[in-house]
Structure 1
Amino acid sequence: MRDRRLQPLLHDLVSTVLAPTTALSGADGQIRPAGVQGLFHADARVLSQATLAIDGREPEPIGHAVSGPGSSRFVSLARWLGDRTPDPTVRVDRVRRVTPGAMDEEITLASTAADPFSCTVTVALSCDLAPIEVVKSGGATVPLARESGGGLAWRSGDTRVTVSGGAYADGGLRWEVTVAPGERVTLRWGVRVTDPKAVVTAPAGPREWSRPEIEADDARLVRLARQSLDDLEALRLAESAAPQDTFLGAGVPWFLTLFGRDSIWAARMLLPLGTELAASTLRVLARHQGAKVDATSGEAPGKIMHELRRGEFAVEGNDLRLPATYYGTIDATPLWIALLHDAWRWGMPESQVGALLPALESALGWLADHGDADGDGFLEYIDTSGSGLANQGWKDSGDAVRFHDGGRAEPPIALVEVQGYAYEAAVAGAALLEAFGRPGADRWRDYAGRLAERFRERFWLDAGHPALALDRDKRPVDALTSNIGHLLGTGILTPAEELRIARTLEDPSMSGSFGLRTMSTRDAGFSPLSYHCGSVWAHDTAIVISGLARSGHGGLAARLADGLLSAAEGFAYRLPELHAGDDRALMGHALPYPAACRPQAWSAAAAVAIVHAAVGLHPDVPAGRAVLRPLPGAPLGALSVRGLRVAGASVNATVDPSGTAHVTGLPAGVTLRQG
């Protein structure tokens, strides 16, 4: 039988990233010419091999650590060198530093042997400049021949890769080394990339958000926050044409570019650290806001885009062919509106909010004019191009929308959480229009009210929870999924309905893993290793944690947070895109989903969402007030956070062991009340 192409696995690789450049290697530091290993810049693999050898043998690895944005250390041994004793006497430290468009390595040989030794150190190198979509599909690639002339360099089109350091040898670099007893010898080499047509680049300025100091009884929360803040800093990106505005690239390696939904959610979770990232993300997406109807790209007037690439994104082996600027998302537009509103309430300057009001009005117009294709009053999607995403919510895999019996829903599909987003966006849009003296507030409040009535009539099931979606025949898709948790806090539910959803999600079939499962174990489509039908996604769980905390269901919020913290322990506190949805008792730790991206922006931002839920600070700067509503009883233990941001002011918050919270540093004119 002919082997089918398989997407390369990622779970055991080490990512060293400072966007838009990423090195993916084995845990031993070796970059081998296999799978997805390599050095990537923007959307191409610029080195497909960088393997270290000493006297023709690979060192034996004993450990590694990611040591900050763009930096990793790999430690190994050369036991065939040095003394013939049980203790190793020759250690090899390989320090990798990635910066935008470059990678540098220091290879240090340290000896505690009694006698000097000599050896030959080599680094074998190759380059294929394979597009990311070819690597993702498991497609075959061919190493490029190096440029003629001195040195090591490769070129394809306008992209050029050059290597320096050591003596140039066949297939790489070479050093002849002698190490005396007690000495250390350090070798250095590096690679540089010139890529003038990349659509993303490093931002022009410093980090846009604060880095708070966190102390907590639960040490896992401190460690997760520290690693997550490093990863968020490493994922900062800007458009090459407008480097002054930063957004977060979605994830390494497949999604290190602008993704409307992902970048919005990550910026929204980071609002407690300042509004600057939200403001720049909003501006970037507004510049790409749809202006015309285009079935191929999914563009429509007022619509917020899905993803940005250098060129067409065509995955070998299937029919997916996405244009460079693709709009196939049903939820990015209402989420953009909600982000603008939330940033305003956290203190985004009124001049910056005002500049985005025309884009707000266009986005609101899309809700009614283009988001509801068949006029039934719900937002729904269908790919009419035949080459785009079949599912266009955050669960966008082909089998993501399934009935309880496992059957797949047919489009047009109206997702449950998207109706909540639309309700929240309409109410938020009305508040902004009214506050800034623009017409239309009453129209959008009326829209929200009518949507809530229709939703209550059509989505609620006899089982006591809302359906996942309505299919093309307006039948409720009756699987129990995490999507319903996104409704919490949007305003579309009554308190009694929020309680029903909280109790539904509390069932072990949903919450019995390390976080919230994407689908109940009782549904026929469930698999703990399904991308969207049984796995656990950190950002999905964090969104539900935030909604539970806001709606007064702190007990379940705390249990789900504990699940993510326990999962983080097994991933060195770098939460992946998703992990397996097995029961917690099965292995005692979370199992990886083998093709999960890591780091991932909204997974890293989940750490901030957990801290925010525990503290419970909810400012409304335009109204001159802030509400403090921590999780009751301090279920995550005592917590101190210094360096939150409200309207540019540095704010400190503490939660004592009894669950009593205190806040200091709120800006003048903002009055605090307990929730």
Structure 2
Amino acid sequence: MPKTEELNGTGFPSRQPLLHRLTAAVAAPYQLWLGDDGQLRQLGAQGAYLGDTRILSCAVLTVDGAEPEAVSVRVRPAADGQLIEARFIFRGTGSTVLSPPCQLTRSVLVSREGIGETISIESALPTELTVDLGLELAADLAGMDAVRGGAVTAPLRPGSTAGTYRWSTSDGVESTLALSSPAADSSATSSTATDKATAAVVHSVTLQPHGTAEFRWHLTGMDPLSPVSAAPTWQAPKLTAGTEPRLVALAAQSSSDLAGLRLALRASTGKRHLEAAGPRAAFLAAGAPWYFTLFGRDSLWAARLLLSRDLSLASGTLRTLAAFQGSASDPATAEQPGKIPHELRRGSFSIPSENQGKGLHLPPLYYGTVDATPLWVCLLHDAWRAGLPHEEVESLLDSCEAALEWMVEYGDSDGDGFLEYMDPTGTGLANQGWKDSADAVRWPDGTLAAGPIALCEVQAYAYEAAMGGSALLTAFGRSASRWRAWGTDLQRRFREKFWCADAAGRFPAIALDADKRPVSSAASNMGHLLGTGLLNAAESRAVAERLTAPDLFTGFGIRTLSQTNAGYWPLSYHCGSVWSHDTAIIVAGLRKDGHASTAHRIASGLLDAAEAFHYRLPELFGGYSRRQAPAPVPYPMSCFPQAWAAAAAAPLLDALA
């Protein structure tokens, strides 16, 4: 990969780029991030990406040497991908009125075949108009970790032949952009100049009176080390919404985003993994831009939320993750026998620390997750109940037994009957539940809990996996009494250890710390216990009431951490923000446990938030109440589209239909 340059003299790269004002379109394995004016500049996270590599870092349009003025930018679904349409006005030299000599439209289609743009110019004049349409192009082929870390990566010098530009790296990554000449009612001449690493393309176009012209480019990439590619089928999970306009809009946007996130394994992952997963096994990338690959927890939750709409997605996700199920113990990768992986990438993923720590350094196949393994068993059980073919279920039973064995033998590292985690390397994820930032587990006074950490929701997943796995194995004539007994004992132990109270009522603590003390902070984690069977009716009711107290429920969704916690901040990643999928999982659990009216109330709030985000539910947003902010406040680094955020539409539609 190309060399990165520091932004300052501190020895560390800049901060993670902000995303909230960018415009994104996705069609796996490609994604495109433009500025809010429709231009692609060498700035922050802007760029065209193939998997984990930025294959175009600049595509700036000019007219007579100046940038046109943006009028509108919108994203909409297309037949085979997503389309960004940006409209511009060019007023011309000396023109001060709004009525323009010409209008430009940039229509950029992101599809699984690549990224193509059509640039159209239309004259409003009764006389001829000659303009120079310019396009500045550059590519840095930067890795996703460099972009996310805020590093500045120098553009590479392109090779150029007959209107085609190529950039490449020593490890086989290639980016190819092919230009087409202007066409339609115009005469044109073209010139191309390459100044260092930036290509400048100029088309001199003469438009006839009221004439039009257009030219095109198409971008493709190749990465022999990428483990993922476009799924072999393009069909999106089906989301239907009746006739209520807001639900229809949410269903349409979510369906489009889910279609754009569908992936499958590539041959570079190895014959054994491909054969184990199957040639047509599709799964969802966790999200854009940083997580455009297979993630155990994220892909599982997305498939589970969509199970009633798409059984094939559950099948592909289960088989793909089972193909990478751990078979040995390796502290460097966190692999253990029976464990389901956390993430799969083309290479190591590293982000330096801005303090004296070691920073984050994850191997290409990383297993640092405590919840993906029980969630895999839960999805298999749910898919079996939903009608997954007998032979498919049977082919995964050995993996099911290995996953259950992992929970008891490895997930419970100290033998206390609870699943806990601890990163021994100092370079992996410090927290390994879904709230995986280093500061996610706090005491009420805001101090961090010491690990190993046993999260409350992980115990619920483990209980559900033990009981569901037992039912599944019994139905197929396999021994299951051990898992049933273990789950029953876990339920008893949980009731004894986790429950605590504050001024707003009783609730399960977010976790147990290294000394097995309940970390008595009220957090959204407790909502994941609903619908798992771990709670009795009275306990479920207590959780439902606690979640809807004003310190947790904003009116738009459930805060990740109570306002009463000293570590709370509305724009903290995991300590006060609202996550779309988190709230949707709570809605689904409430409905399953019989709290339909509470589910409807929370779902209505999240639908209001979706409307404010043009029905593309973000990864997360600010934890401000409706009193503090009448509209939801964006989290500036929130990813979108995100698989489990888009999949959150399904439980919302169920609750609000």
2-side partners of 1:61 and 1:527: how far apart? 35
Change (3 A) 1:81 1:436: farther
Structure 1 unaligned regions, length at least 5: 615-635, 640-675
Change (3 A) 1:84 1:468: closer
1-side partners of 2:200 and 2:219: how far apart? 12
Q: Which of 381, 394, 402 is the aligned partner of 2:434? A: 394
Matches within 5 A, 1:249-268: 249-268=285-304
Residues 182-191 or 262-271, more deviating: 182-191
What residue is the counterpart of 1:73 in the other structure? 85
Q: Which of 162, 172, 175 is the aligned partner of 1:161? A: 175
- Kept in 1: contact 2:87–2:103 (CA 8 A): yes
2-side partners of 1:263 and 1:200: how far apart? 14
Q: Which of 528, 552, 557 is the aligned partner of 1:515? A: 557
Matches within 5 A, 1:198-597: 198-207=226-235, 209=237, 211-217=238-244, 219-241=245-267, 242=274, 243-317=279-353, 318-439=358-479, 441-463=480-502, 464-597=506-639
- What displacement does 1:169 show? 2.7
Change (3 A) 1:82 1:571: farther
- What displacement does 1:513 show? 4.0
TM-score, normalised with respect to structure 2: 0.91
What SS is found at the alignment partner of 2:24?
strand
What residue is the counterpart of 1:54 in the other structure? 63
Alignment deviations for residues 463-492 of structure 1 (CA, whole Å, 9 cap, x no partner):
311110001111111111000000001001
2-side partners of 1:76 and 1:427: how far apart? 59
2-side partners of 1:80 and 1:20: how far apart? 39
Change (3 A) 1:337 1:34: same
What residue is the counterpart of 1:650 in the other structure? none
Change (3 A) 1:316 1:403: same
Alignment deviations for residues 606-634 of structure 1 (CA, whole Å, 9 cap, x no partner):
0012123x2xxxxxxxxxxxxxxxxxxxx
Alignment deviations for residues 272-302 of structure 1 (CA, whole Å, 9 cap, x no partner):
1121000010000000000011111111000
TM-score, normalised with respect to structure 1: 0.88
Change (3 A) 1:56 1:222: same
Residues 456-465 or 591-600, more deviating: 456-465
What SS is found at the alignment partner of 2:552?
helix
2-side partners of 1:296 and 1:153: how far apart? 37
Matches within 5 A, 1:615-630: none
- What displacement does 1:412 show? 0.4
1-side partners of 2:318 and 2:61: how far apart? 44
- Kept in 1: contact 2:127–2:210 (CA 8 A): no
2-side partners of 1:64 and 1:297: how far apart? 43
2-side partners of 1:84 and 1:503: how far apart? 60
- Kept in 1: contact 2:452–2:514 (CA 8 A): yes
- What displacement does 1:138 show? 0.6
2-side partners of 1:260 and 1:358: how far apart? 18
Q: Which of 186, 210, 216 is the aligned partner of 1:188? A: 216
Alignment deviations for residues 144-176 of structure 1 (CA, whole Å, 9 cap, x no partner):
112366642111021111221144333232211
Given residue 80 of structure 1, which amino acid in structure 2 is its aligned partner? G
1-side partners of 2:412 and 2:374: how far apart? 13
What SS is found at the alignment partner of 2:588?
helix
What SS is found at the alignment partner of 1:511?
coil
In percent, how many aligned pairs have the same letter?
47
1-side partners of 2:545 and 2:596: how far apart? 12
What SS is found at the alignment partner of 1:584?
coil
Residues 507-516 or 301-310, more deviating: 507-516
- What displacement does 1:183 show? 2.2
Alignment deviations for residues 236-295 of structure 1 (CA, whole Å, 9 cap, x no partner):
011112452110000100000000000000000111112100001000000000001111
What SS is found at the alignment partner of 2:501?
coil
- Kept in 2: contact 1:139–1:316 (CA 8 A): no
- Kept in 1: contact 2:239–2:255 (CA 8 A): no
2-side partners of 1:83 and 1:108: how far apart? 21
What residue is the counterpart of 2:206 in the other structure? 178
2-side partners of 1:194 and 1:172: how far apart? 23
What SS is found at the alignment partner of 1:215?
coil
- What displacement does 1:47 show? 0.8
- Kept in 1: contact 2:240–2:251 (CA 8 A): no
Residues 186-195 or 232-241, more deviating: 186-195
Give the number of equivalent residue pairs.
Answer: 612
- What displacement does 1:81 show? 6.6
1-side partners of 2:210 and 2:611: how far apart? 37
Change (3 A) 1:531 1:558: same
1-side partners of 2:153 and 2:98: how far apart? 43
Residues 121-130 or 143-152, more deviating: 143-152
- Kept in 2: contact 1:17–1:23 (CA 8 A): yes
What residue is the counterpart of 1:96 in the other structure? 108
2-side partners of 1:55 and 1:239: how far apart? 46
2-side partners of 1:527 and 1:355: how far apart? 47
2-side partners of 1:213 and 1:360: how far apart? 32
2-side partners of 1:46 and 1:251: how far apart? 18
What SS is found at the alignment partner of 1:225?
helix
What SS is found at the alignment partner of 1:271?
coil
- What displacement does 1:40 show? 0.7
What SS is found at the alignment partner of 1:509?
coil
- What displacement does 1:569 show? 1.5
- What displacement does 1:84 show? 6.5
